[in-house]
Amino acid sequence: MLNFFFGFEGRVRRSNYFFGALVAGCLYSVLCVSTFAAMGVHVGERLHSVTWDFEPSAVGLAIACVLSLIALWAMLALTVKRWHDVGMTGWFALLTLPPFANGMVFLLLCLLPGTTGANRFGSDPRGRVVAHEATA
C-alpha cells in the first residue's frame, strides 16, 4: 500500500489511478483548507472579502504543511505511475503542478488506455500479455 501511494516506480491502471487520486486529492484539499484555517484566513459570506481573523498557530500550520506535502507527494507518485502505464516518462507528471492544468491532465490520464503487455516501466497491471511476449 505504501508503494502504491508513495513509490514512483511501476505502473497503475486507470481505475486505481482514479480512485487513488480521488482519495489523495480530497485529503490534499482538506489539508489545504485546514492550513488556511490555521493561518487565520476567513472568507466573507459573498466570497469577495478575505480577512485575517486571528494569529496563526505555528504548530498547527507546521503539521498541516507537512501533511499537505505528503498528500502532494502521493498525488505525484500516482500520476508518475499512470504516465508509466501509458508508456511515457514520469516527468510528464510535472504538468499537473500548474493551477487549472491538473484537472485536464487528470481527465486525460483517466481516459488514455495503458499499453498492452510489459513496457520499459514494468509489467502490465491488468496482466495482459502481447502475443510475441507469450511465445518468447
50 with 43: CB under 8 angstroms? yes
What is the per-residue pLDDT for 49? 62
Give me the percent of the chain exceeding a pLDDT of 70. Answer: 78
Task: Give the model confidence (pLDDT) of 8-43 as tens digits.
Answer: 888 888 888 899 888 887 877 887 777 777 666 666
What is the per-residue pLDDT for 69? 84
Q: Which three cell numbers stand for residue 131?
A: 502475443
Cα 72 from Cα 74, distance rounded (Å): 5
Burial of 96 (0-12, 13-18, 19+ CB in 10 A): buried
Cα 36 from Cα 48, distance rounded (Å): 16
Sequence-distant (6+) residues with CB within 8 A of 65 are: 35
Crossing angle of the two packed helices 14-39 and 58-86, in degrees rounded to 10: 160
Name the residue with higher pLDDT: 106 or 2: 106
pLDDT surpassing 70 at residue 85: yes
pTM of the model: 0.73
Q: Where are the domains of the chain?
A: 11-122
pLDDT band at 44 (very low <50, low <70, confident <90, very high): low
pLDDT surpassing 60 at residue 54: no
